[in-house]
């Protein structure tokens, strides 16, 4: 894929306020691109998701048309993670700092490799991809407006037309999680795994749903085997750190955050959490150094904004 270019609550609150204020002032942006196979052929019916947990809306979904093209409109400025998935191909992800003013955002090109999901490549055979794209965008609008029941119904209607695009279940699961209907969320994630057994987003989703449900043991068990396997991705490693942190095992959490940071040195989230681990230990100097690493590695991220605010608070204390 080519991508151009015991915690102190008062301190964290100040950091979060600074980040939220920056987000509120942002405009919205558009990102488009194409999804192709290794031979350069366009892939019709691939699912492209854009995610930024600190933005509002925080996620968007698109389906590629006959020429493998997709377009997502309405994103806030900031660091977004884009993922392309398609049955029969291994998923591909990467980050882009989305801009809402000035020059247009550069296009993204995904090149998916065969393997990893099974199932037919022609997921939208006989289906109007442009029409489906519009229906999916409407479902996203409902989701982002907090109308989760309507969003679930809309996503299921899209899925009924294109059952091979099982990644839509990720959005259905997210809606159920927001409704705190955790068993339904788990069922939706498992529907993803039926079509794509190696989908790490679904595996992470299952773990985090169990965490939200209060079942720390299940959350830990569902992630540990995946995180311990060779080539575990950054999201899996980071999520296991989150589970350990929730259990109060700060040192263990730090080990997994460190692994996530090593998997993607330019990712601010695990570096920021390493700073919080140091803060929990009362290590002021260690916290400042960790936060400086966040700013250096991922300067345009929400975590960098929070890190700057936290450093200022620490210097005043």
What digits encode the pLDDT tens for the residues 76-93?
Answer: 888 888 999 887 888 888
Residue in this structure with the two tokens 């993922």, named with its chain if needed? 83
Q: Would the pLDDT of 119 be above 60?
A: no
Most confident listed range (98-102, 198-202, 313-317): 313-317
- 255 CB burial (10 A radius; 0-12, 13-18, 19+): middle
CA-based nearest residue to 52, from 75, 35, 33: 75
The share of the chain scoring above pLDDT 70, in percent, equals: 86
Residue-level pLDDT at 156 = 94
Supply the DSSP symbol for 34: E
Calpha distance 91→1 (Å, rounded): 10
Calpha distance 92→83 (Å, rounded): 6
Q: Would the pLDDT of 22 be above 60?
A: no
Note the pLDDT tens digit of each residue in 222-266. 888 778 877 778 888 998 999 899 889 999 999 999 999 998 898
Instruction: Enter the tokens of residue 106.
Output: 């550069």
Residue-level pLDDT at 25 = 39
Higher pLDDT among residues 307 and 226, named by residue: 307
**Which residues on neighbouring strands pair with residue 96, listed in sequence order?**
80
Residue 184 binned pLDDT confidence (cut-offs 50, 70, 90)? very high
Residue 120 binned pLDDT confidence (cut-offs 50, 70, 90)? very low
The stretch 266-272 carries a mean pLDDT of: 91
Q: Would the pLDDT of 121 be above 50?
A: no
Calpha distance 221→211 (Å, rounded): 11
- Ranges 108-122, 156-170, 179-193: which has the least confidence: 108-122
CA 38 to each of CA 42, 71, 88, 89, 137: distance values in angstroms, whole numbers, following the listed order: 10, 21, 13, 10, 28
Question: Is there a contact between 65 and 129 (Cβ–Cβ < 8 Å)?
Answer: yes
Using CA atoms of 308, 235, 226, 231 in order, give the dihedral in degrees to the nearest 10: -100
Question: Is there a contact between 232 and 260 (Cβ–Cβ < 8 Å)?
Answer: no
The share of the chain scoring above pLDDT 90, in percent, equals: 35
- Average pLDDT of the chain, as a whole number: 82
Note the pLDDT tens digit of each residue in 292-303. 999 999 888 889
Q: How many other CB atoms are there within 10 angstroms of residue 117's CB atom?
A: 22
Residue-level pLDDT at 116 = 57
Calpha distance 239→200 (Å, rounded): 11
Note the pLDDT tens digit of each residue in 33-85. 999 999 999 998 888 988 887 677 777 888 888 889 998 888 888 888 899 98
Q: Please provide the size of the chain in residues.
A: 317
């Amino acid at each position: 894929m080519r991508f151009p270019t015991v915690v102190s609550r008062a301190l964290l609150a100040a950091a979060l306020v600074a980040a939220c204020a920056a987000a509120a002032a942002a405009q919205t942006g558009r990102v488009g691109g194409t999804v192709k196979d290794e031979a350069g052929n366009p892939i019709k019916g691939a699912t492209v998701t854009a995610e930024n947990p600190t933005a509002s809306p925080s996620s968007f979904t698109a389906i590629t048309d006959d020429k493998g093209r997709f377009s997502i409109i309405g994103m806030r400025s900031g660091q977004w993670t884009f993922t392309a998935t398609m049955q029969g191909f291994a998923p591909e992800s990467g980050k882009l700092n989305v801009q809402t003013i000035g020059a247009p955002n550069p296009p993204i090109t995904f090149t998916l490799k065969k393997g990893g999901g099974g199932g037919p490549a022609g997921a939208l055979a006989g289906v109007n991809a442009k029409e489906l794209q519009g229906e999916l965008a409407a479902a996203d609008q409902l989701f982002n407006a907090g109308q989760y029941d309507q969003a679930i119904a809309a996503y299921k209607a899209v899925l009924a037309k294109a059952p091979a695009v099982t990644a839509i279940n990720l959005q259905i699961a997210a809606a159920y999680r927001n409704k705190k209907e955790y068993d339904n969320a788990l069922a939706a994630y498992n529907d993803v795994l039926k079509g794509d057994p190696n989908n790490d987003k679904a595996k992470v989703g299952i773990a985090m749903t169990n965490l939200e449900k209060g079942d720390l043991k299940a959350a830990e068990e569902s992630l540990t085997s995946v995180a311990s396997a060779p080539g575990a991705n950054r999201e899996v490693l980071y999520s296991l750190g989150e589970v350990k942190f929730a259990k109060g095992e700060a040192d263990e959490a730090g080990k997994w955050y460190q692994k996530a940071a090593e998997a993607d040195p330019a990712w601010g989230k695990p570096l920021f959490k390493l700073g919080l681990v140091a803060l929990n230990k009362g290590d002021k100097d260690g916290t400042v150094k960790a936060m400086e690493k966040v700013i250096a590695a991922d300067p345009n991220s929400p975590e960098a904004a929070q890190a700057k605010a936290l450093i200022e608070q620490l210097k005043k204390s």
